Structure 1
Amino acid sequence: MNNVREFSWSVFFTWIILAVIGLIAIYSATQGPVSQYLETYIQNNFFKQVIWVIISLFALISIQFISPRAFIELSYLAYGVGILLMILTLIFGTEINGAKSWLRIGPANLQPSELMKIATILATANYLTSRRDISAENVRYALTAVGLIMIPTILVFMQNDLGTALIFLSLIPVMLFWSGLPYGVSLFIISPAVIAYLTVIQWYYGLAAAILLTAFIFFIQRSVWLTVTAFISGFLTVSGVQVALNQLLQPHQIARIAAFTNPNYDPTGAGWNVIQAKTAIGSGGLTGKGFLEGTQTQLKFLPEQWTDFIFCVIGEEFGFIGSTIVIVMFIFLFVRLLNMAGNHKHPFAQLVTVSITSVFFIHFFINVGSASALLPVIGLPLPFISYGGSAFLTNTIMLAICLNMDFHKREFSIYR
């Protein structure tokens, strides 16, 4: 192997720090005075997470001894196995919190959609980097790559796991843009998400965004057909969101969206989560109330405080300083991973590293945004911090792959 000094120890220790912060927060959320209000299986979450951290550490170390060529050669096989596991989950899976995303394997519950993130990134990256002919005029390869991502996305939607489906969808613009898709086409792909988000707030915000984005796309790409398509797509997005809000979504989903725009709309129901989250973070002040001293946390006012709202636990008990440390650690991780991607000569390693970084960033952005009421509550864990064995192991494996390809970049660069 390469000289050990070339290993990215800064990324490794960042992983350790985030994992330790997560264990401290999970302990407070499940083992403190709040434990009297929790079921036994929830109280055991801390000890289960410790086991998953240990398993993940061994996985991270073991992956460093794998030839980076294996990630290319086994990518399609991993993708096929992942799709099979997701289909089996739809048939035989266990439903938890409304999502049929769990497959019982012996004593453990496995979430195949988490592992499918890795397989999808590897398979799509392999396909795109072996075919560099992507342009506004010839998008056949791009559409095939979109198909590779959309298959697991549809399966995740069928499992009723909207948050994870959004992660898969976010890979489309990231991977296509990094593979050479023109700026205008990339903006066209991203625009429906921006328009939909603004339409949720007010329909005329969405319409204004559709018009402005269409103008930008024309200015950047100078393509009439793309401009017309962008405008039609934007108009359909605004209309589709309105139809969904008024006719298609379930009452609890509509309530969540209404609570995002106005938490007082249903302060004892859907708005409760937003109000309690803001109260917890706001009451932490500069230094926090102290470990195991957060009233919102210890009196069980925070919902899902060991997963979706764990950032609120940190904000309440460790204050602005604690929250800032978490944010800075994530920013440092993102910057280091992007630097690693920039140092690669092989396009596959570049695309995989950037895609994994984007997955981490979107999880971080949505989780913190939901906890601070800047985004609707979607239900995505905070990487390396929230409770969840499958998610923690998957995120660690993705990080380990980035570390592996960086560690082996000299020999990896000769692969064609």
Structure 2
Amino acid sequence: MIPRTLFSTEHDEFRRACRRFLEQQVNPFHAQWEKDKCVPREVWRMAGEMGMLLPSMPEEYGGPGADRLFDMVFAEEFMHAGASGLIGFGVHGLVANYILNYGTEAQKQAWLPKMIAGTAVGAIAMTEPNTGSDLQAVRTRARAEGDELVINGSKTFISNGASCDLALVVCKTGDSGKGAQDISLVIVEKEREGFSRSQPLEKIGLHAQDTSMLFFDDCRVPAENVLGGVQGQGFYQLMHDLAWERIIGAVGFQCQAEAALDHTIEYTRTRMVFGKPVLDFQNSRFTLAQLKTEIQIGRSWIDSCMALLLRGELTAEAAAVAKYWTAELSSRVVDACLQLHGGNGYMTEYPIARLYLDTRGNRIWGGTNEIMKEIIARTL
């Protein structure tokens, strides 16, 4: 592989600390979390205490004040380790960044210290049962009534939904008929009357990652809970930060592909067929050589996108390319690697089988790959 030049010695030290945390506090227990369909709250708090939950949050709110490469390092490590339950940490980070970038000072003071410490978990509620990726078509409505908003509607496929302490809810707050100008993001706390959630949904994969439905039945919140204090800004807030969501997703997808390759090289070196290792067959070597090449292409693109992000130059198109390529790559690599495992690849005791289950959704969430193609096509 081509040497990576993004990281300093501080990033390398942080990576080693992340690996120790995963080895000691996550990997031995992840199978149980998959049965429980959630990550225990004490793990959130431990990650917060170690500065791993939100490493790039500013010191003024209790964060480590690091650059976003530290977020990247942690995402790479837990995804390479197969700890897909921690994807909820990434969603939590998205919510924290929305509050940091667009919230009022009161909203920042109220939530960011607790989110950094892992004592409050965040969720972002975009998708609805009948709207999919079309955020302008949301039906969840927040109606003004005095100094309150009354919310009615439902959301689905919400990461951290069952365990969140606050949900950042995409609502329709206006009736101008201009779509984007009628959308707001509203903070809803877990204790609000009229706010309820389903049990974690049954999914093909990502079993340790809490995904639920949210329901709002005349749920009342203060009007000041609108993110930033001004209605009608939600769509623009979402669009501005979606590039980061897609890049951090692509970071994880890339690492899933790399993990699949690593597991398969190790497996084919020791698995004997017709008296010799599977790796000694030309078909195996050529397949793995092709996958390694495609993985390196993805790695180079992701690293270049992160360099652009650090300079404030990452475009929506580049992020869409990253999300699209790595989502397709992870599925393609895992499928080919599972084939090289033979029948064992279908057994969930092998990491490749769990990767097969976990990667299929990559082409759907964070905006479907069809939406990514549309974003890219607009620049032609």
TM-score by length of 1: 0.27
Higher normalized helix content (fraction of residues): 1
Higher normalized strand content (fraction of residues): 2
User: Does 1 or 2 have the higher relative contact order (CA < 8 Å, sep 6+)?
Assistant: 1
TM-score by length of 2: 0.29
